Amino acid sequence: MKNYTFKIQGRTYNVDLLSQDDNKISLEVNGTPYEVTVEKGATKRITTKTPVLVRAAAPAPAKEGTSPSGNVSVIKSPLPGNILSILVHQGDTVQKGQKLLTYEAMKMENDILAESNGTVTKIFVNVGDTIIQGANLVEIK
């Protein structure tokens, strides 16, 4: 197994090359497994030089979704993590900037704040839940 470290736009990526079969490569990037296909002729370069990591641009972190009527907003998770505490209940009235919940992402506690005034109509998560980036957290109307 070969190990590579890439620094892209200030972020460090640890890449472990697990296996290579013709133009199919199994690798892990920061612990997440990927199967990639390399164009024919490029595989010889991988064994002798550091490979170039090519991927689609990462989606912008999801923040708030609004329905077509404009009166319902859904607060979404900007990063994957674990829910530590929920500070509001369904039916609570909240003000813009009020803390709704706290979750842990990348070994840091993060607060999710209300992005508008309104009433909490739905809470999509529970304490202890593991969430992915873009997951619905709280709906405010």
In a shared domain, residues 70 and 130: yes
Q: 120: closest CA among 135, 100, 104?
A: 100
Determine the pLDDT at residue 53. 66
Summarize pLDDT for 43-81 with one digit per residue, the tens: 554 455 666 666 666 666 554 444 444 578 899 998 899
What CATH number is attached to the domain comprising 75? 2.40.50.100
Residue 21 lies in domain: 2-48
Q: Is 140 buried (19+), middle (13-18) or exposed (0-12) by CB count in 10 A?
A: buried
Residue 56 forms part of a structural domain: no
Cα distance between residue 121 and residue 84, in whole Å:
20
In a shared domain, residues 68 and 136: yes
In a shared domain, residues 26 and 76: no
Q: 76: closest CA among 134, 18, 34?
A: 134
What sign does the dihedral 140-110-103-65 (CA atoms) show?
positive
